[in-house]
């Protein structure tokens, strides 16, 4: 059967090319090129008819057993990929830009799933009723929420707004107390009313542009504080800067409170005209920006961000810093100036870490100037912490060729962090300083562990709503875990419940991992060998720290990772013991932790004792 453009036009994008097909048909290049993303505003490689003529269709993964086809351009870069996975029709369509997958559409049991990838963002939405609009957001960042709300305001689209609102079921899944759930649901019920007020007062049009979102540090309430299932994380408010497209005017509207549910941020209050104060509730009034500032921000927002760690990324940060420096100068005396100073300093750090020495000098100069006019202020602390972090990175790089000096660098780092904490005891960066100091102290023997716990405890006590508070509490739990039962329970990647407390009578290796770990295959081989050697006496349980279940499943399969794989998309299983990277714990037959910080390369002798 030949696929024609007319057939493509009569079928829905993901329903496939004909349900009666015995195998995926081979599409022509022009037919693949003709298929466009279902969702609007997605940036993919543009394909004119002349471009399609130079493309070729390649079997995927190979010609012997293809499950689909890739459309490759004249430079052999992929621009489209159609797959039929577990079906006789094409049920996964991928779109590319500059050779990188940036958007995907997939048949799922609940409808059509749309994923924004690469430079397009991180959203995952599902259309459950087949009308092409997102009904449920499975993943969406705060910035992307603000853009969706802006788009809803421009189009007066209530349905789009309602898809972003938190539901009672989602709040209950967090495990919040019933009274708090009802209070949040009651506020959410008024969101449409607020939305209509914002539509009427802002009068945004198709000419309006989203420019910038300003978010402050999120607040975190650890799950154990309210006996919940996951931590309760929220942003109290946010300000969204908008170019109205009329009279050279920029205004700000409020997003209202948003809460994190799994990988998605959900609206509680809905938008309201006016600018919010940092870490405060709604306030009235709008923030006006000079036309030159507005133009600069719009221009900067439209530049795609290159891949991290590339020369292009460093160049991007240098150019971004130049624009931000001009913006800061234009905003002299403006209430929002400090917001852009912070962005400027972060751009300098990113560029300097990429090898641009002048950006490092600029960072230090700005820090000195801020210290001169606002010594001891939160902004001065922000600048000082960036300079300190960059200096540490620079020293580590220099010491990498002189191993004997690494110890001196670590000593300097611990002393510098301690001095920073004394100078700035109560700003947001201090919580991070405590955390970094604690991590450094953990590598410093028994005395170091005592110091580490003290720093973790300082975060929990002094910064209870900081995003690191739950992680710090978990780290204390880990450091005190030897001789205690390992309390880990949840769902595995294949959807089965698993509770380590029910594995009594068998020694257990608990391996925390993520697809980010370059040595995953090597570790998997060693774990499989140990499991085989002590069959029936030793179990392997892994805890995946990834956020994407499908990607994690594939990574575990590719690596040959043995055992059952616990998974939580919000990372709460890692947070429970303050674990952020690859880590190994050994548990005895009694279910208690025998070694909280085991090393796989040296674990054989200890495991031999545990299985006896």
Give 439-457 pLDDT, tens digit per residue: 999 988 778 899 999 999 9
Q: What percent of the chain has pLDDT over 70?
A: 92
Contact 18, 61 (CB under 8 A): no
Q: What percent of the chain has pLDDT over 90?
A: 45
The three-class DSSP label of residue 286 is coil
pLDDT band at 549 (very low <50, low <70, confident <90, very high): confident
Q: 293-478 and 489-610: same fold?
A: no
d(CA 435, CA 431): 6
Is the pLDDT at 164 greater than 50? The verdict is: yes
The pLDDT value recorded for residue 406 is 87
Q: Which residues pair with 485 in a beta bridge?
A: 592
Polymer length in residues for the chain: 612
For the chain, the structural domain boundaries read 5-127, 141-289, 293-478, 489-610
Per-residue pLDDT averaged across 134-139, rounded? Answer: 93
pLDDT band at 301 (very low <50, low <70, confident <90, very high): low
Contact 57, 70 (CB under 8 A): yes
pLDDT band at 289 (very low <50, low <70, confident <90, very high): low
The predicted model scores a pTM of 0.59
> What's the chain's average pLDDT?
85
The verdict on domain 489-610 having CATH code 3.40.30.10 is: yes
Q: Which residues pair with 14 in a beta bridge?
A: none
The pLDDT value recorded for residue 247 is 66
The pLDDT value recorded for residue 180 is 83
The verdict on domain 293-478 having CATH code 1.25.40 is: yes
Pairing of strands 272-273, 100-108: unpaired
Q: How many CB atoms lie within 10 A of CB 612?
A: 8
Task: Say which residue, 484 or 400, is predicted with more confidence.
Answer: 484
Distance (Å) of CA 81 to CA 10, 87, 120, 432, 606: 20, 16, 17, 42, 49
The string of pLDDT tens digits covering residues 183-195 is 888 889 889 989 9
Task: Say which residue, 304 or 437, is predicted with more confidence.
Answer: 437
Is the pLDDT at 361 greater than 80? The verdict is: yes
The pLDDT value recorded for residue 17 is 35
Peptide bond into 61 cis (omega under 30): yes
Is the pLDDT at 225 greater than 80? The verdict is: no
The string of pLDDT tens digits covering residues 70-90 is 999 988 899 999 998 877 788
The string of pLDDT tens digits covering residues 49-62 is 888 889 999 998 87
The pLDDT value recorded for residue 417 is 96
DSSP state of 482: B
Is the pLDDT at 5 greater than 50? The verdict is: no
């Amino acid at each position: 059967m030949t696929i024609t453009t007319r057939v493509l036009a009569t079928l829905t994008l993901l329903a496939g090319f004909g349900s009666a097909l015995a195998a995926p048909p081979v599409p022509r290049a022009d037919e693949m090129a003709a298929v466009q993303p279902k969702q609007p505003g997605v940036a993919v490689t543009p394909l004119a008819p002349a471009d399609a003529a130079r493309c070729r269709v390649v079997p995927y993964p190979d010609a012997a057993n293809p499950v689909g086809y890739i459309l490759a351009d004249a430079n052999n870069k992929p621009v489209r990929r159609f797959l039929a996975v577990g079906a006789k029709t094409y049920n996964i369509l991928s779109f590319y830009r500059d050779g990188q997958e940036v958007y995907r559409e997939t048949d799922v049991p609940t409808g059509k799933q749309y994923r924004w990838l690469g430079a397009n963002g991180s959203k995952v939405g599902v259309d459950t009723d087949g009308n092409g609009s997102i009904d449920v957001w499975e993943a969406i960042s705060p910035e992307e929420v603000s853009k969706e709300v802006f788009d809803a305001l421009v189009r007066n689209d209530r349905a789009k707004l309602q898809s972003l609102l938190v539901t009672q079921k989602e709040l209950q899944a967090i495990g919040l107390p019933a009274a708090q759930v009802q209070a949040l649901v009651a506020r959410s019920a008024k969101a449409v009313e607020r939305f209509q007020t914002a539509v009427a007062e802002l009068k945004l049009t198709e000419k309006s542009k989203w420019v910038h979102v300003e978010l402050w540090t999120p607040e975190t309430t650890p799950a154990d504080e309210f006996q919940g299932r996951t931590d309760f994380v929220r942003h109290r408010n946010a300000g969204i800067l908008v170019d109205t497209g009329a009279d050279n005017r920029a205004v700000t509207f409020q997003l209202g409170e948003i809460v994190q549910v799994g990988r998605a941020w959900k609206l509680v209050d809905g938008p309201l005209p006016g600018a919010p104060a940092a870490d405060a509730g709604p306030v009235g009034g709008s923030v006006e920006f000079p036309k030159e500032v507005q133009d600069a921000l719009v221009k900067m927002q439209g530049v795609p961000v290159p891949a991290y760690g590339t020369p292009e990324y460093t160049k991007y940060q240098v150019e971004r810093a130049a624009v931000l420096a001009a913006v800061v100068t234009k905003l002299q005396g403006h209430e929002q100036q400090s917001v852009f100073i912070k962005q400027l300093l972060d751009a300098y750090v990113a560029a300097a870490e990429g090898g641009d020495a002048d950006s490092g000098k600029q960072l230090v100069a700005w820090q000195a100037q801020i210290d001169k006019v606002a010594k001891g202020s939160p902004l001065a602390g922000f600048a000082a912490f960036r300079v300190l972090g960059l200096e540490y990175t620079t020293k580590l790089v220099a010491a990498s060729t002189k191993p004997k000096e690494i110890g001196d660098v670590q000593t300097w780092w611990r002393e510098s962090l301690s001095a920073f904490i004394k100078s700035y005891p109560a700003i947001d960066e201090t919580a991070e300083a405590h955390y970094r100091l604690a991590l450094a102290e953990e590598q410093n023997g028994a005395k170091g562990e005592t110091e580490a716990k003290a720093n973790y405890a300082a975060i929990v006590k002094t910064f209870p709503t900081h995003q690191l508070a739950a992680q710090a509490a978990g780290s204390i739990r880990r450091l005190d875990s030897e001789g205690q039962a390992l309390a880990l329970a949840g769902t595995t990647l294949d959807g089965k419940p698993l509770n380590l407390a029910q594995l009594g009578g068998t020694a257990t290796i608990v391996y925390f991992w993520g697809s980010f770990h370059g040595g995953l295959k090597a570790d998997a081989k060693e774990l499989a060998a140990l499991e085989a050697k002590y069959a029936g006496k030793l179990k392997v349980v892994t805890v995946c720290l990834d956020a994407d279940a499908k990607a994690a499943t594939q990574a575990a399969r590719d690596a040959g990772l043995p055992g059952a794989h616990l998974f939580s998309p919000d990372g709460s299983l890692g947070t429970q013991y303050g674990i952020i990277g690859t880590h190994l714990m050994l548990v005895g037959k009694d279910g208690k932790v025998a070694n909280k910080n085991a090393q796989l390369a040296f674990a054989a002798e200890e495991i031999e004792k545990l299985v006896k």
